């Protein structure tokens, strides 16, 4: 077991590496959406460029959790960084080479890289936190929230680099930065974190814990509800209908994701304040420890349902689209961030140490599946039904998230089920 100083040091190194990777992930997404739209690709064709990115995320999370348990989480994290460098460089070829199948293949490589890195970083937190539930929720919320804030920065960096140094110059700069980070983290981190003592069989990646299966299904629809309008429909609407520039689109989406990340990083504090409001305590210092369980996940899923439906209704009523989207996105982002933070905590809290990398991999396989469904629907729905159609699809996905959250247990109840299975 790591001491507190070593745990904190390793956590900070993992977080720093995750930050750097996330900047490249956000930047490459914005670069591909804007550059290929500029080349004349339709919204559906742009969505198809991300098809393999999301599909191979499903495969990677399934295989990656098993691989991390066999060879260690640090090694899988660095493999992910190396693959991202290759994916960035693959897109620097001349336009004549950038056919749809080729770009899809490069995005597939980037999808594999992203999910190896994400699964490895988040599963590592279980080992570094020492098992305390309060510390675990705080650390995973900070890691996930700061990652999303940096992904927003990546959106802006991608759009700004596209205008300043061009598509290929941007890709080369991002690849060089990530190589430096890869070398630094490889030197600073210990080996074999998360490696199981016995070699797990591949069939063990499929969870037998009902709570994890329900949470994975809820996660599928949660992230589908975001990407069904956020990936293609929203940026294209802002550019084509509202007449925003590339930098304005990238900057706005960057600020949204940064704000979303900051909310996610502070989710434990926000939930504690919400608990205080519910109980109407005069002295906040008298609060009982923050309780986060299946009831919390279900409540916030149904709160989230109000916002995509409300934005869609506002647009259909002819209210000023710019203000409907800005205000609606802010509110949607706050509540979505709380939902995501609760999920990210629960998957670690529901897992025992031996199976944490495989459970996280299985869970993020569902996450990638939801993103894939949302991405494909985003292009198709926007092309056939407009942004309002994308938003109604989003509302339907959020409803499914809430329904699958029924039956999620309390942490202690799930822990007892795990002990019974071992017995």
CA distance linking residue 144 with residue 345, whole number of Å: 10
Q: What angle do CA 59, 410, 215 make, to 5 degrees?
A: 20
Which residues, including other chains, have CB under 8 Å from residue 225's CB and lie 6 or more apart?
Answer: 304, 308, 370, 374, 394, 395, 397, 398, 401
Structure confidence by residue, pLDDT tens digits, 101-136: 888 888 888 888 988 887 777 777 766 665 555 667
Asked if 371 contacts 118 with a C-beta cutoff of 8 angstroms, the reply is: no
pLDDT grade for 360, boundaries at 50, 70 and 90: confident
CATH of domain 4-422: 1.20.1250.20
Most confident among 246-255, 311-320, 347-356 (mean pLDDT)? 311-320
| Domain limits, the chain | 4-422
Structure confidence by residue, pLDDT tens digits, 256-309: 878 887 888 888 888 877 765 554 443 444 444 456 677 888 999 999 999 999
For residue 355, give the DSSP letter.
T
Counting residues of the chain whose pLDDT is more than 90, the rounded percentage is 23
pTM confidence score? 0.71
Asked if 356 contacts 210 with a C-beta cutoff of 8 angstroms, the reply is: no
Chain-centre distance for alpha carbon 220: 11
């Amino acid at each position: 077991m790591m001491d507190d100083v070593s745990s904190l040091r390793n956590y900070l190194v993992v977080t720093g590496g995750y930050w750097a990777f996330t900047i490249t992930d956000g930047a490459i997404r914005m670069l591909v959406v804007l550059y290929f739209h500029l080349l004349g690709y339709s919204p559906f064709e742009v969505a198809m460029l991300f098809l393999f990115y999301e599909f191979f995320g499903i495969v990677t999370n399934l295989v990656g959790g098993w691989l991390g348990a066999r060879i260690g989480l640090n090694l899988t994290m660095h493999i992910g960084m190396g693959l991202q460098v290759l994916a960035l460089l693959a897109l620097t070829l001349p336009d004549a080479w950038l056919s749809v199948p080729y770009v899809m293949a490069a995005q597939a490589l980037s999808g594999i890289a992203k999910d190896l890195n994400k699964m490895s970083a988040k599963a590592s937190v279980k080992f570094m936190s020492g098992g305390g539930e309060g510390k675990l929720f705080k650390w995973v919320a900070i890691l996930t929230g700061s990652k999303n804030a940096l992904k927003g920065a990546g959106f802006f960096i991608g759009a700004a680099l596209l205008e300043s140094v061009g598509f290929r110059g941007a890709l080369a700069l991002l690849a060089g930065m990530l190589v430096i980070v890869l070398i630094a983290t490889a030197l600073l981190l210990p080996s074999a974190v998360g490696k199981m003592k016995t070699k797990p069989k591949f069939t063990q990646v499929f969870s037998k814990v009902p709570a994890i299966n329900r949470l994975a299904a809820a996660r599928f629809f949660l992230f589908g509800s975001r990407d069904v309008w956020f990936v293609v429909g929203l940026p294209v609407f802002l550019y084509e209908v509202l007449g925003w520039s590339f930098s304005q689109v990238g900057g706005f989406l960057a600020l949204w994701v940064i704000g979303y990340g900051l909310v996610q990083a502070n989710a434990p504090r926000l939930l504690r304040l919400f608990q205080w409001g519910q109980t109407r305590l005069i002295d906040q210092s008298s609060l009982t420890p923050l309780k986060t369980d299946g009831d919390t996940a279900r409540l916030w899923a149904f709160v989230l349902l109000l916002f995509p439906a409300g934005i869609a209704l506002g647009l259909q009523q002819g209210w000023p689209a710019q203000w409907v989207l800005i205000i609606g996105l802010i509110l949607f982002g706050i509540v979505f961030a709380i939902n995501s933070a609760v999920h990210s905590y629960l998957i670690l809290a529901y897992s025992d140490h031996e199976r944490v990398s495989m459970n996280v991999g299985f869970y993020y396989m569902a996450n990638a599946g939801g993103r894939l469904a949302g991405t494909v629907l985003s292009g198709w729905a926007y092309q056939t039904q407009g942004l309002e159609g994308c938003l109604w699809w989003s509302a339907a996905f959020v409803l499914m998230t809430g329904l699958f959250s029924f039956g999620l247990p309390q942490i202690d109840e799930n822990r007892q089920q795990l002990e019974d299975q071992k017995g």
